[in-house]
Structure 1
Amino acid sequence: MKKLVAAALTGALVLGTIGTATVFAEDDKTITVAASATPHAEILEQAKPILEEQGYELEITVFDDYVQPNEVVESGDFDANYFQHIPYLNSFNEEKGTHLVNAGGIHYEPFGIYPGTKTSLDDIEDGDNIAVPNDTTNEARALLLLQDNGIITLKDGVGLEATVNDIAENPYNVEIVELEAAQVARVAEETAYVVLNGNYALQAGFSVAKDALAYEKSDSEAAKTYVNVIAVKEGNENNEKIQALVDVLKSDDIKNYINETYDGAVIPFDEADEEAAADEAAEETEADAEAEEAE
């Protein structure tokens, strides 16, 4: 019997490796999550005692990049990650051939333009440099925010795929400095302005409410597009322990912690927002399909 059980477990592990999902044992009460330090790991720490009351042990490992957290979930080494928004998740899957899905939206973080060597957007001058994240979706988001504030103009229709090559008008001749997201805040003393993801702004000691020179408003479609999610390998999104994790992170206790802690830099994502985002995504998919048929 022991040999049969071992063989079954081995088969499950193999399937988890070559298929789309890792098989969780029914009695597995440990939830392993890869996360960014701020605010994701901090929020998860608040969920720990609540999950413990439900019989689950939450293990959190902090990563300081945007690649490894997805790789360790894809490989099955971790159950889930919490660090990214849906556009980045989709882009990563497309570029890397991974099979990660959204198990639940938890919060969003308004993107902001923060002071570097200059403390007001009114002080912008010809040739100023502005640091932005260099990963595909976040760079587009940064460029769109710069456009919204009259610093550049992008080509029509580029949207969330915008790059520096899509800048159509640059009246101030600004130099866009492209850096890995974690490095952007570190050049604040060398660049006129920095455009930051919410979590890296927090790590750098910036407050959206007090320090941002401009930012995505909490009710904007842009902010809701970039909801941060619990991501898992495809097939595991309805697993009992994953759903327990998502339910706790969506609870009033966690929402209250977020609202009281982050001064508007992190905003809970509620069900109404999630349904609206899902409807919008469905409409975009339908529109894309119709456009392809028209071609």
Structure 2
Amino acid sequence: MKLFKLVTLLSSLSLGILSVHSAIAGETIKVGITAGPSAKILEVAKDLAKKKFDLTLDVKTFGDYQIPNEALNGGDIDANIFQTVSFLEQAKSKKGYKLAIVGNTFIYPMGIYSKKIKNISEITEKSSIVIPNDPSNQGRALNLLQNAGLIKLKGGAGELPTPKDIVSNPKNLNIKTVDAAQAARAAMDVTAVVLNNDFVLNAGFHPSQALLKENPKTAKPYINVIVVREKDLSDEKKAKLFKQLKEVMNSNEVLKKTEELFPGAVPAW
């Protein structure tokens, strides 16, 4: 009788352990990214997540920077990995999204690129320069142009200046603001473009071809992050899956692929 009770107890414990593992293994989470080289990085992440945690990453690709947060906030995806801290804060302020950061990935220095010149010094009077038009990346691009000595911004403009904050433009540059994806397509038609990492390869450049890049040491607001819905943080199972996703994105495998595609990318974890 005692032996029977012991076997029953051990069987119950085994079933309990199996049920716990089944709750965290063999799961799928939908992850949103932007089109471009991020897809190649996520392929590495997908393989590692499956191998290490039996976690399936169902990757959803979006064509611009505005949709992934809308999709996440609406519950169409479980996480997104495409934006900087600064971009997220702007989106939350403007749209009222209830989103939260669960991990850092990389700093990808923004760069100035050109198909017509080889050096910043070759930018001449009334040259056209295209920059992204969303508040975060627009401000980032204007600060980069200031660091290049092409413009001067008013004091106190901070991380998010606009073209109205330009107080000196000695070469009378024609600075055009367009959607980030359009900036990549405009590369052939203007003297220079300021590009985010997602669009460098699509525009026909390699990150090493930048005329000038941001200094990663001063780009803390531009750390790329893993973002989820605030309410999902209180869900124990989802929190576990997010922890696994973070571990995958902070792995040596993902780091190696990222450095291959984006020389100069800096891990921020």
User: Secondary structure of 1:118's match?
Assistant: coil
Shift of 1:66: 1.0
2:210 aligned to which of 212, 215, 221:
212
2:231 aligned to which of 227, 232, 235:
235
Match of 2:6 in 1: none
Match of 1:30 in 2: 28
Q: Output the TM-score relative to the length of structure 2.
A: 0.85
Shift of 1:264: 1.3
Match of 2:67 in 1: 68
Letter in 1 for 2:86: P
Match of 2:84 in 1: 85
Letter in 2 for 1:227: I
Cα deviation code 1:174-213 (max 9, x no counterpart): 111110001102111211111111111122231222x111
Shift of 1:137: 0.8
Q: Output the TM-score relative to the length of structure 1.
A: 0.78
Counterparts of 2:246 and 2:170, CA distance in 1: 46
- Is residue 111–residue 195 contact of structure 2 (8 Å, CA) maintained in 1? yes
**How many percent identity over aligned positions?**
36
Match of 1:185 in 2: 184
Mapping of 1:26-65 within 5 angstroms?
A: 26=23, 29-53=27-51, 54-65=53-64
Mapping of 1:110-125 within 5 angstroms?
A: 110-125=109-124
Cα–Cα, structure 1 residues 69 and 36, in superposed 2: closer, same or farther, change >3 Å? same
Mapping of 1:1-295 within 5 angstroms?
A: 26=23, 29-53=27-51, 54-209=53-208, 211-218=209-216, 220-222=217-219, 224-237=220-233, 239-259=239-259, 261-270=260-269
Counterparts of 1:227 and 1:38, CA distance in 2: 18
Q: For structure 2, list consecutive stretches of 5 or more residues without a partner in the other structure.
A: 1-21
Match of 2:19 in 1: none
Counterparts of 2:262 and 2:129, CA distance in 1: 25
Q: For structure 1, list consecutive stretches of 5 or more residues without a partner in the other structure.
A: 1-24, 271-295
Deviates more, 1:57-66 or 1:32-41: 32-41
Letter in 1 for 2:251: S
Aligned residues: 242
Counterparts of 1:195 and 1:169, CA distance in 2: 19
Cα deviation code 1:112-152 (max 9, x no counterpart): 11114333221222211100000001001100010011100
User: Secondary structure of 2:232's match?
Assistant: coil
Cα–Cα, structure 1 residues 257 and 116, in superposed 2: closer, same or farther, change >3 Å? closer
Counterparts of 2:215 and 2:192, CA distance in 1: 19
